[in-house]
C-alpha cells in the first residue's frame, strides 16, 4: 500500500508535489509550464533523473517498511481480511494448545465479529500483550480489540460463573466489554453438578481415565443429547428455567446417588445473574447471518483441536464436541458457502495434555527441552503437557478433514539450541514393518505404530527478533520449507516468540 502511493507520485504531473512533500523543494516540474529558477533546474534531465532515482530508492525503503508491517500484522492481515466478507476460521490442527488465541488476537483487529462455536471452559487460550498475560476460556480472544464484537455460538456449552468471572477480570484489566459480547439463546448451560459428575466419572475410571479437564463439558453435552439440558435462553423465563433445572437435577441424582446438589442455592445464584445474562442473550444465528449479509468480516476462533474431535480424534481420549471445521456450521448456524480461509494452527513440534496415544512423544532430553523451553503447562488445568516431535501423518490427516488454506506454525523459537531437529514422516506397523496409511481408528493399532523420523540440522541463533522469513537462520528456513512440503499446505504465519507481535508473515 505504501509503494502504490509512491508509484502514483512518480507520474510527470505529480513530480512537483511529490518532491515538495518529501523534502526536495528545490525541484519543480510541470509538463506545460516550467517556472522560475527552480523550474529551469527541474527542466534539466539530469536533475529529473536525480529525482526519479531518489524516489526509486524511497520505493525500495517503503517496500521494506511494508514487509515489516506485514510481518507484524499491520498491513496484510487487514488487506486480506477486507478482501471478502466471508467467514475465516482458526482451528487447532493437533491435540490442542497450539497457540490459536494468539493468531485470533492478531487477526481480530481487522474483523467485525469474532466467534466461538464449540466446547466450553475446557478451552484455554493465552495472549501476552505488553507483558500482560490474558487467559481466556469462554470469551473469544477478539475481545481485546475495542471495535470487535464477540459471539458465543449455539454449539458452545457455557458455565456462567466462569464466564462472568472472565468478564470481571477483563474489566479490572481495563478492557470494556459492554455491548460487545453476545451469547446464543440456544447455547447449553454447564452447571456445577456437571463438573462434579465429570470428576466422579474420571475417578471411577481409575487407570483408564480419559484425562478430562473436569470442567463438566462432557456431562453438559450428555444432557444436551439426552434432551434434558437447559439452554441460555431458558433463563429469560424464570418459571420455566426453575422447572427444567429441578427436573435435570433429579434426573442426574438418580444416576449419581452420592451427588450432593444444593438446589435452592443454585437457583438463587442463577436468579441473581439472570438479568445480567439476559442483556447479552440474543439469537446469534440471526445476528451472524445478518452481519454477513451486511458485509461484516467474521472470524471463528476454534477451541481444542482436530485430534480431540469426538468423531475424528483418538476416541475415547477426546473432547465431547467437534472442534474441526464442521462445528462452524453446526455451532454458529451458517451455511458452507459462507466459509473462506481455514487456518490450521500447528506447533513446530507437538504436545498433548492428558491420556491417550501420542506417537511422536519423547520421554528423553529432547522432550524435556521442548517442555521446559516451551513452558508447556496447560492454560486450563496447569498440567504439564507431554511433548514430542512434529507428526506429519497426523497433520496430513488433520489437513484432509479440515481443508486448510494456510497454516500458522507456532513456537519455532522453542527448537532453537537443538543440534538436530526431527520430523515424524511415516507410520509403520511395529510388528510387521508395513506402512500404515491414514490415521488408525483402533487405539490398539495406534499405540503400536513405529514412527519413521527425518533428521534436519538445528540452529543456535536467536530468532525472537526476526520480522521476515529471510531473517531466519538458513536451517530454520529449511525446516519450515520441509514441513510445508510434507503437509502440502502453505505456512503463512510463523511464531518466533511469546509476544503479541512475535509473528512472521509470509505472503503465501
> Catalytic site residues?
97, 125
**Four-residue CA torsion sign, 409, 414, 416, 418:** negative
Q: CA 480 to CA 457: how far, in whole Å?
A: 12
Strands (E), 117-260: 125-129, 132-136, 149-152, 157-158, 181-184, 188-189
Which residue has cell 453435552?
A: 221
Q: CA 411 to CA 369: how far, in whole Å?
A: 13
Q: How many residues does the chain have?
A: 508
Q: How far is CA 198 from CA 75, 166, 305, 380, in A?
A: 45, 22, 20, 15
Q: Are strands 339-347 and 406-410 parallel, antiparallel or unpaired?
A: parallel
DSSP states of 369-408:
HHHHHTT-B-TTT-PBPEEE-EEHHHHHHHHHHH--SEEE
Phi and psi, residue 379, nearest 5°: -65, -40
Q: CA 460 to CA 378: how far, in whole Å?
A: 27
Residue 231 DSSP one-character state: B
DSSP states of 470-494:
GGS-HHHHHHHHHHHHHHTS-EEEE
Q: Name the β-bridge partners of 231.
A: 188
Q: How far is CA 485 from CA 138, 228, 260, 264, 346, in A?
A: 35, 48, 55, 59, 15
Q: How far is CA 278 from CA 182, 188, 474, in A?
A: 10, 14, 55
Phi and psi, residue 149, nearest 5°: -90, 145
End-to-end Cα spacing for the chain: 18
Q: CA 196 to CA 216: how far, in whole Å?
A: 7
Q: Name the nearest CA neighbour of 330 among 197, 448, 156.
A: 156
The answer to whether 122 touches 158, Cβ cutoff 8 Å, is: no
Which residue has cell 487477526?
A: 107
Q: Name the nearest CA neighbour of 375 among 502, 499, 498.
A: 498
Question: How is residue 104 written as a grid cell?
Answer: 485470533
Amino acid at each position: 500500500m505504501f509503494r502504490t502511493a509512491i508509484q502514483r507520485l512518480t507520474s510527470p504531473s505529480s513530480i512537483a508535489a511529490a518532491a515538495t512533500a518529501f523534502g526536495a523543494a528545490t525541484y519543480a516540474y510541470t509538463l506545460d509550464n516550467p517556472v522560475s529558477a527552480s523550474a529551469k533546474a527541474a527542466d534539466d534531465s539530469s536533475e529529473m533523473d536525480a529525482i526519479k532515482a531518489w524516489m526509486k530508492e524511497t520505493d525500495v525503503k517503503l517496500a521494506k517498511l511494508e514487509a515489516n508491517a506485514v510481518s507484524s500484522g499491520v498491513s496484510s492481515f487487514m488487506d486480506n481480511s477486507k478482501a471478502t466478507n466471508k467467514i475465516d476460521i482458526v482451528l487447532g490442527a493437533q491435540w490442542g494448545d497450539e497457540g490459536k488465541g494468539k493468531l485470533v488476537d492478531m487477526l481480530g483487529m481487522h474483523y467485525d465479529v469474532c466467534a466461538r462455536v464449540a466446547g466450553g471452559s475446557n478451552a484455554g487460550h493465552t495472549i501476552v500483550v505488553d507483558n500482560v498475560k490474558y487467559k481466556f476460556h469462554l470469551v473469544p480472544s477478539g475481545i481485546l480489540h475495542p471495535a470487535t464484537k464477540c459471539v458465543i455460538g449455539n454449539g458452545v456449552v457455557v458455565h456462567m460463573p466462569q464466564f462472568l468471572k472472565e468478564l470481571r477480570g477483563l474489566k479490572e484489566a481495563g478492557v470494556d466489554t459492554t455491548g460487545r459480547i453476545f451469547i446464543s439463546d440456544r447455547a447449553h448451560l454447564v452447571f456445577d453438578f456437571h463438573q462434579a459428575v465429570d470428576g466422579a466419572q474420571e475417578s471411577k475410571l481409575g487407570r483408564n481415565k480419559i484425562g478430562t479437564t473436569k470442567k463438566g463439558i462432557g456431562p453438559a453435552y450428555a444432557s444436551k443429547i439426552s434432551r434434558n439440558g437447559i439452554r441460555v435462553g431458558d433463563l429469560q423465563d424464570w418459571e420455566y428455567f426453575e422447572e427444567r433445572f429441578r427436573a435435570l437435577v433429579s434426573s442426574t441424582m438418580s444416576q449419581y446417588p452420592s451427588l450432593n446438589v444444593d438446589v435452592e442455592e443454585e437457583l438463587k445464584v442463577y436468579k441473581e445473574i439472570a438479568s445480567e445474562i439476559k442483556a447479552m442473550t440474543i439469537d446469534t444465528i440471526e445476528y451472524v447471518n445478518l452481519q454477513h449479509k451486511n458485509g461484516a468480516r467474521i472470524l471463528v476462533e476454534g477451541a481444542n483441536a482436530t485430534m480431540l474431535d469426538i468423531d475424528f480424534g483418538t476416541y475415547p481420549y477426546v473432547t465431547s464436541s467437534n472442534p474441526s471445521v464442521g462445528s462452524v456450521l453446526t455451532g454458529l448456524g451458517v451455511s458452507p458457502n459462507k466459509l473462506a480461509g481455514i487456518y490450521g494452527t500447528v506447533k513446530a513440534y507437538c504436545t498433548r495434555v492428558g491420556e491417550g496415544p501420542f506417537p511422536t512423544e519423547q520421554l528423553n532430553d529432547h522432550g524435556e527441552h521442548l517442555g521446559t523451553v516451551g513452558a508447556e503447562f496447560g492454560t486450563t488445568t496447569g498440567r504439564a503437557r507431554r511433548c514430542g516431535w512434529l507428526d506429519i501423518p497426523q497433520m496430513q490427516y488433520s489437513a484432509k478433514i479440515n481443508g486448510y488454506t494456510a497454516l500458522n506454525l507456532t513456537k519455532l523459537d522453542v527448537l532453537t539450541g537443538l543440534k538436530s531437529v526431527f520430523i515424524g514422516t511415516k507410520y509403520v506397523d511395529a510388528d510387521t514393518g508395513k506402512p500404515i496409511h491414514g490415521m488408525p481408528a483402533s487405539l490398539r493399532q495406534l499405540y503400536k505404530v513405529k514412527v519413521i523420523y527425518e533428521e534436519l540440522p538445528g540452529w543456535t541463533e536467536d530468532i525472537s527478533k526476526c520480522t521476515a522469513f529471510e531473517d531466519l537462520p538458513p536451517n530454520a528456513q529449511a525446516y519450515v520449507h520441509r514441513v510445508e512440503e510434507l503437509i502440502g499446505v502453505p505456512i503463512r504465519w510463523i511464531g518466533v516468540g511469546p509476544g503479541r507481535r512475535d509473528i512472521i508473515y509470509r505472503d503465501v
